[in-house]
Amino acid sequence: METPNTYTTDHIFRESLLRNILESLKRLQTTAAMSIPQQESGHANGDYVINYPNIGLFGVFDSVGSLKNEDSSTPEPAQLAAELIHLLITNARVQGTPISCEYLQNIVKKISRHIVTKYKSARETTVTILVEESLEQDPNRHQKIYIVNAGDSRAYLFRNGQLRHLTLDQARGGTLTFPIEESNQRFEQEQLDGSFATLSAKELLEEQLLLAEANSGTELKNYINSQSQGSTIERIKATKMFELFMTRNWVRNCIGNKKTPVEPTVTELIVLPGDLIVITSDGVHDNLKESQITQIISEGNLMNPHNLAGALIYGASLVSKDPNNDNPRASQDDMSVFIKRY
């Protein structure tokens, strides 16, 4: 009588499971997710960071405003939105649904409608997520990712020592928001040798870069004065910049907004080996200027996202607790960072 083949389906399943576990562990080594609540406030963390390498989903959510009537039965909006997006992306992976700009826009709108309908007293939340088009790691094929944004958290690309914005703040001022008809404008690679094509909405990006590096409203007032002898257009632009700085945290485009339906922007990007995608809540980039974020990353170990994330939060925390209260950028807030290395 023949000995039955011992290499059964059970063995195949176990080997497949082991490969998946090892692949997930490998992916985790290239990502970091870190979040701390506002220092000495005693309140729960209103931020929520997700890190799901097994489905290619990562990002930062930041609750907006205060809970009406202290309704403790209403879930934190950041966590609620994050869990719903996790569920929908998981279903998409299982069912083989193609990931696209349109699909990602639609699920964010769907989640926002659900929260507005089911949770009457819920706060709003910003969302900035990274979604990988494919989970397959093909060395002969460049990885495509999507950056989805609604609100004032930010996504950056760090490449060849330079930090580039992948999102524009969507604040009450409005100028920093993509026009809806341009919401699918893409960052396109001119070459695959490390060069980075500028955003089509170039003027909007220039405004955000100035705000990101400004020390204070006073600095922008000086900028306005320097333009006083310029053209009418230059004076109007300078004045608008000051208004935007003073209202930069008045978020108007977010999940759960009961007055205005959310209009998320989605950016496609081809990532190259060595690229870092960095996502921060406003608690980080309000306290740190653009040059400081760049310096912290440049001086850190690019192969260790955990150390980089910790250094960014530590740096932002030091500024937020400025004992002399003479730093105009100092802001007490929850702080979150996500970093992915490719």
pLDDT tens, residue by residue, 275-332: 999 999 999 998 888 889 999 999 998 889 999 999 999 999 988 887 665 566 677 8
Check residue 131 and give its pLDDT: 97
The pLDDT confidence band at residue 105, using thresholds 50, 70 and 90, is: very high
Average pLDDT score over residue span 162-169? 88
Average pLDDT score over residue span 201-208? 61
Pick the more confident residue, 22 or 262: 262
**pLDDT for residue 13 is more than 80:** no
Pick the more confident residue, 76 or 223: 76
Task: Report the C-alpha gap between 263 and 106 in whole angstroms.
Answer: 9
Residue-wise pLDDT tens digits, 238-253: 666 566 666 666 777 8
Check residue 212 and give its pLDDT: 73
Average pLDDT score over residue span 200-219? 62
Strand partners, 280: 154, 337
For residues 11 and 292, is the Cβ–Cβ distance under 8 A? no
For residues 56 and 135, is the Cβ–Cβ distance under 8 A? yes
Check residue 260 and give its pLDDT: 86
9 to 5, 17, 19, 120, 134: CA distances (angstroms): 10, 12, 15, 50, 27
- The answer for residues whose C-beta is within 8 angstroms of residue 274's C-beta and 6 or more apart is 159, 302, 341, 342
Check residue 146 and give its pLDDT: 96
The pLDDT confidence band at residue 27, using thresholds 50, 70 and 90, is: low
Pick the more confident residue, 229 or 93: 93
Which of 119-128, 175-184, 206-215, 224-233 holds the top average pLDDT? 119-128
Check residue 47 and give its pLDDT: 92
How far is C-alpha 44 from the chain's CA centre?
A: 21
Check residue 19 and give its pLDDT: 63
Q: Six-digit token pair at 90? A: 């998981």
Average pLDDT score over residue span 146-168? 92
Burial class (CB in 10 A: 0-12, 13-18, 19+), 191: exposed
Average pLDDT score over residue span 47-60? 95
Pick the more confident residue, 189 or 137: 137
Task: Report the C-alpha gap between 184 and 244 in whole angstroms.
Answer: 24
What pTM value is reported for the model?
A: 0.77
Q: What is the dihedral of CA 36, 37, 38, 41, to 10 degrees?
A: -140
Q: Please choose, from the candidates 311, 281, 275, the residue with its C-alpha nearest in 3D space to the C-alpha of residue 293.
A: 311
Residue-wise pLDDT tens digits, 114-124: 999 988 777 88
Q: Please choose, from the candidates 163, 201, 111, the residue with its C-alpha nearest in 3D space to the C-alpha of residue 297.
A: 163
Check residue 307 and give its pLDDT: 94
Q: Please choose, from the candidates 279, 259, 43, the residue with its C-alpha nearest in 3D space to the C-alpha of residue 148.
A: 279
DSSP3 helix / strand / coil % (the chain, rounded to 5): 40, 20, 40
Task: Report the C-alpha gap between 257 and 230 in whole angstroms.
Answer: 39
Average pLDDT score over residue span 179-204? 38
The pLDDT confidence band at residue 85, using thresholds 50, 70 and 90, is: very high
Average pLDDT score over residue span 120-137? 87
Check residue 191 and give its pLDDT: 31
Task: Report the C-alpha gap between 61 and 49 in whole angstroms.
Answer: 6
**pLDDT for residue 46 is more than 70:** yes
**pLDDT for residue 255 is more than 60:** yes
| Runs of H (alpha helix) within 29-174 | 77-95, 101-118
